[in-house]
Amino acid sequence: MLLSELAEKELIEMENGVRFGFLAETECIFDPKTGIIYGFELLDQSAKIPFQKKKSTQTLFIPWEEIHLIGEDRILFRKAKPTRKQYD
């Protein structure tokens, strides 16, 4: 599968069905020496809600290990983490 095909897929958390946007809206975190993908970093969903008071944006991280299924239109993952510190 090409990265451009992955970018068009919608990210959905399995636990509560929350939609986190599309993979194209994330930053791919990977090791440039090995090419291993650690996961995807995205802005907190509350930052995208229109006409709401702006909250401080929190970065969320979806580790590659948490991705459960890559389907035709969607990527299902178990849990987003509040940080990616272990990969820095």
How confident is the model at residue 67, as a pLDDT?
95
Q: Which domain holds residue 15?
A: 3-87
**Would the pLDDT of 86 be above 90?**
no
Mean pLDDT along residues 50-71:
78
pTM of the predicted protein model: 0.76
| Average pLDDT for the chain | 83
Q: Domain count for the chain, please give it.
A: 1
Relative to beta strand 59-63, strand 27-30 is: unpaired
Indicate which CATH number applies to the domain containing 27: 2.30.30.240
For the stretch 1-43, pLDDT in tens is: 787 888 899 999 999 998 989 999 999 999 999 999 999 998 6
Which residues make Cβ contacts (< 8 Å) with residue 15, sequence separation at least 6?
78, 79
